[in-house]
Amino acid sequence: MKSQQKYELGIRNYELRMKNALLIPNS
């Protein structure tokens, strides 16, 4: 796997986690 692909997947993963954090606020 190219490091570029890995990097892009990591960013997408991060964005999804941020969206989930907004949808499900931590108490």
AA letter at 9:
L
AA letter at 11:
I
CA atoms within 13 A on the CB side of 20: 6
* CA distance from start to end of the chain: 38
AA letter at 15:
E
The pLDDT of residue 27 is 57
The pLDDT of residue 10 is 96
Could you tell me the two tokens for 20? 């989930």
The domain spans of the chain are 1-27
The pLDDT of residue 24 is 80
pTM here is: 0.58
The pLDDT of residue 2 is 86
The pLDDT of residue 23 is 85
1-27: per-residue pLDDT in tens? 689 999 999 999 999 999 998 888 765
* Range list of H helices, 1-27: 3-23
